[in-house]
């Protein structure tokens, strides 16, 4: 009962807690930003009777921010008592801190609360990953480099993804690298909370079945009269544009130079709201796949798999929805159903992809959301970040599994393995890379000139179209 009474009479009903800080933190105002496939960011302004909290006591500390509904009735005279349970709690770490001002009895501060995954943007790496699928690479980075454990993340995928021969992380933060790999194969992520462990959990999904479908709010346009106190949405807008009608793909694989790797896909079924061809060359596939296959039956990372992902991204931009809500329970990944006269564009349900929240002691909670219409045929796909492009060459040395090998170590196709000089990981000798082709002054399918390269020879490695995942040996170099 005491908790309920405190919640009712507290002028600061939203609650901020930071590990190691015993003093009461009274929330003055906050602004938050959330989205699918992006870490949330909440800036919370608060006061405390502790007038000089040091940054070392806050930065990097676990924290939680709870959003409560406003009480509607006085808890007297038999009227109902408002619940003290929060509508939503965000767990994370304090990544930023400001001391704003102070008076004789309290000080005013601001912290930035983000999920632990956001810290992976700090730093840059050059690394090689071999014979792992994208989910395996991501899990390895989370576990081995950042101390994540099984309860900290969840892969709830409906597809199986093949192991890639080699993936290169080139001058990217771990967060940028993870986000790029996941977006390439259409995996999106969101953040939830484990209230028992009081931690944030990052969930990885690749399908519409992971959306939250039990969210419904009435359409309540704002008016000058007092509201009923019930949550609702207003300010609903929709924007529409013509997007690409179909996606064409082509690739080339030297291992099967005569393979037909051209394809075309149209998920719009020729709708008049689409127009034009989007031609993508050199997607990273080795086989085309079946264009008639549906859902999980379509082979992952095949040509038609990438074409379908590309088209889904275009179709995601065909209709954009937006609005404002008063419910603190709204979150990215929810399919919001709006009752009571919402525009027709909102009828299928609005998948919330981005959310901006704000509130203050003198301002009611508001959540401005952006969304796309729910579709059983088209899933949300995260925007594709730019992939690093390597201009010029990267130094490496030819490798061999035998120490002081007097002969060249190459396979039947005349390819070599190399040790990239930027690579700090420990590999079994002769296994530091995938097999790399060697560019020659004269070559063909059954003829050519090959001067063998011995182990330890310095080589300049170039990359097809600057792609870090498509290396080849451009030439050998003298060194000291």
Q: What is the pLDDT of residues 70-98, one digit of tens each?
A: 766 555 555 555 556 899 999 999 999 99
Please tell me what DSSP assigns to residue 286: S
Nearest to 370 by CA among 414, 418, 336, 343: 336
* H helix and E strand count, the chain: 5, 24
Say if residue 58's pLDDT is above 90: yes
Say if residue 3's pLDDT is above 90: no
Please tell me what DSSP assigns to residue 141: I
User: How many angstroms separate the Cα of 127 from the Cα of each of 23, 187, 386, 431?
Assistant: 44, 22, 18, 14
Counting residues of the chain whose pLDDT is more than 70, the rounded percentage is 93
Residue 296 in domain: yes
Q: Are 39 and 58 in contact (CB under 8 A)?
A: no
Question: In 163-300, where do the E strands start and end?
Answer: 164-172, 188-194, 199-205, 212-218, 233-240, 246-250, 262-265, 277-281
Say if residue 6's pLDDT is above 60: no
Residue 234 in domain: yes
Residues 395 and 480 in one domain: yes
Residues 194 and 276 in one domain: no
Q: 300 lies in which domain range?
A: 246-316
Residues 354 and 223 in one domain: yes
Q: Are 252 and 272 in contact (CB under 8 A)?
A: no
| pLDDT band of 22, cuts 50, 70, 90 | very high
Residues 255 and 200 in one domain: no
pLDDT, tens digit, 9 for 90 and up, residues 171-223: 999 999 999 999 999 999 999 999 999 999 999 999 999 999 999 999 987 66
Q: Are 132 and 170 in contact (CB under 8 A)?
A: no
Q: Are 470 and 464 in contact (CB under 8 A)?
A: yes
pLDDT for residue 30: 98
Residues 134 and 167 in one domain: yes
| pLDDT band of 228, cuts 50, 70, 90 | low
Residue 418 in domain: yes
Residues 301 and 329 in one domain: no
Q: Are 343 and 392 in contact (CB under 8 A)?
A: no
Residues 440 and 471 in one domain: yes
What is the mean pLDDT of the segment spanning 255-265?
A: 90
CATH code, domain carrying 432: 2.40.50.230
Look at phi and psi of residue 20 and say left if phi exceeds 0, alpha if psi is from -120 to 50, else beta.
left
pLDDT for residue 8: 46
| Cα–Cα dist 452/457, whole Å | 10
| Cα–Cα dist 367/330, whole Å | 8
pLDDT for residue 77: 53
Least reliable range by pLDDT among 17-31, 32-46, 82-96, 128-142? 82-96
**Residues contacting residue 366 through CB under 8 Å, at least 6 positions apart:** 324, 325, 326, 357, 358, 359
Nearest to 204 by CA among 382, 436, 358: 382
What is the mean pLDDT of the segment spanning 332-357?
A: 97
Buried (b) or exposed (e) across 247-274, using 16+ Cβ within 10 A? bbbebeeeeeeeeebebebbbbeeeeeb
Question: In 228-333, where do the E strands start and end?
Answer: 233-240, 246-250, 262-265, 277-281, 319-325
Helix (H, G, I), strand (E, B) or coil at 311: helix
Residues 17 and 128 in one domain: no
| Cα–Cα dist 251/34, whole Å | 37
Q: Are 281 and 252 in contact (CB under 8 A)?
A: no
| pLDDT band of 475, cuts 50, 70, 90 | very high
pLDDT for residue 38: 98
State which of 135-139, 224-228, 249-253, 405-409 shows the largest mean pLDDT.
Answer: 135-139
Residues 345 and 307 in one domain: no
Pair type for strands 334-339 and 212-218 = parallel
| pLDDT band of 418, cuts 50, 70, 90 | very high
Max CA pair span of the chain: 97
Cα angle 69, 64, 146 (rounded to 5 degrees) comes to 145
pLDDT for residue 82: 53
What is the mean pLDDT of the segment spanning 407-411?
A: 92
| pLDDT band of 225, cuts 50, 70, 90 | very low
Nearest to 160 by CA among 138, 129, 185: 185
pLDDT for residue 328: 95
Residue 383 in domain: no
pLDDT for residue 226: 45
Instruction: Provide the 10 A C-beta neighbour count for residue 38.
Output: 22
Residue 384 in domain: no
Decide which of 114, 149, 175 is a domain's last residue.
114
What is the mean pLDDT of the segment spanning 147-163?
A: 97
Q: Which residue has the higher pLDDT, 229 or 241?
A: 241
H or E segment and range at residue 181:
helix 174-184
Please name the residue that has the structure tokens 């596939």. 285
Please name the residue that has the structure tokens 């020729």. 270
Residues 459 and 422 in one domain: yes
User: How many angstroms separate the Cα of 141 from the Cα of each of 84, 138, 343?
Assistant: 39, 5, 44
Q: What is the mean pLDDT of the chain?
A: 92
| Cα–Cα dist 284/266, whole Å | 20
pLDDT for residue 93: 98
Residues 191 and 128 in one domain: yes
| Cα–Cα dist 428/127, whole Å | 15
Decide which of 178, 205, 232 is a domain's last residue.
205
Residues 227 and 321 in one domain: yes
| Cα–Cα dist 8/72, whole Å | 9
Decide which of 98, 114, 130 is a domain's last residue.
114
User: Terminal CA-to-CA distance of the chain, rounded, Å?
Assistant: 79
State how many domains the chain has. Answer: 5
pLDDT for residue 9: 44
Provide the whole-model pTM. Answer: 0.93
Residue 380 in domain: no
pLDDT for residue 72: 60
pLDDT, tens digit, 9 for 90 and up, residues 328-341: 999 999 999 999 98
Say if residue 1's pLDDT is above 60: no
Residue 382 in domain: no
Q: What are φ and ψ of residue 32, in 5° steps? A: -135, 155
Say if residue 227's pLDDT is above 60: no
CATH code, domain carrying 13: 2.30.110.50
Residue 22 in domain: yes
């Amino acid at each position: 009962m005491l908790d309920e009474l405190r919640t009712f009479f507290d002028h600061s009903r939203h609650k901020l807690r930071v590990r190691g800080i015993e003093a009461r933190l009274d929330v003055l105002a906050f602004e938050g930003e959330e989205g699918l496939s992006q870490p949330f960011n909440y800036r919370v302004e608060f006061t405390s009777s502790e007038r000089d909290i040091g940054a070392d006591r806050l930065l990097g500390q676990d924290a939680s921010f709870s959003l409560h509904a406003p009480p509607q009735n006085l808890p007297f005279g038999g009227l109902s008592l408002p619940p003290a349970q929060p509508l939503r709690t965000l767990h994370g770490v304090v990544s930023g801190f400001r001391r704003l001002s102070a008076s004789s009895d309290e000080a005013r501060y601001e912290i930035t609360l983000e999920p632990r995954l956001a810290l992976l943007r700090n730093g840059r790496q050059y690394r090689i990953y071999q014979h792992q699928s994208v989910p395996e690479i991501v899990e390895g980075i989370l576990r081995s480099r950042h101390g994540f454990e099984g309860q900290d993340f969840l892969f709830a995928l409906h597809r199986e993804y093949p192991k890639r021969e080699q993936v290169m992380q080139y001058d990217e933060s771990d967060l940028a690298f993870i986000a790029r790999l996941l977006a390439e194969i259409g995996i999106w992520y969101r953040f939830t909370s484990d209230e028992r462990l009081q931690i944030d959990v990052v969930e990885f999904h690749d399908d519409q079945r992971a959306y939250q479908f039990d969210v419904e709010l009435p359409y309540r346009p704002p008016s000058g009269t007092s509201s009923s106190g019930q949550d609702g949405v207003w300010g609903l807008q929709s924007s529409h544009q013509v997007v690409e009608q179909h996606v064409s793909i082509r690739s080339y694989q030297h291992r099967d130079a005569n393979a037909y790797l051209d394809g075309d896909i149209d998920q719009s079924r020729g709708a008049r709201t689409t127009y034009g061809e989007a031609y993508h060359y050199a997607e990273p596939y080795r086989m085309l796949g079946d264009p008639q296959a549906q859902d999980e039956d379509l082979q992952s990372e095949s040509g038609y798999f990438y074409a379908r992902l590309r088209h889904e991204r275009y179709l995601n931009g065909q209709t954009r929805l937006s609005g404002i809500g008063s419910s603190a329970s709204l979150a990215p990944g929810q399919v919001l159903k709006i009752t009571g006269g919402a525009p027709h564009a909102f009828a299928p349900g609005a998948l919330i992809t981005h959310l901006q929240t704000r509130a203050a002691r003198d301002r009611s909670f508001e959540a401005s959301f952006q969304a796309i219409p729910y579709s059983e045929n088209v899933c949300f796909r995260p925007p594709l970040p730019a992939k690093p492009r390597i201009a010029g060459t990267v130094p490496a040395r030819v490798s061999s599994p035998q120490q002081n090998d007097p002969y060249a170590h190459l396979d039947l196709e005349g390819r070599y393995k190399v040790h990239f000089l930027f690579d700090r990981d420990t590999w079994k000798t002769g296994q530091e890379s995938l097999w790399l082709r060697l560019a020659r002054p004269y070559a063909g399918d059954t003829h050519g000139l090959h001067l063998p390269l011995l182990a330890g020879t310095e080589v300049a490695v170039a990359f097809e179209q600057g792609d870090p995942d498509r290396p080849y040996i451009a030439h050998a170099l003298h060194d000291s």
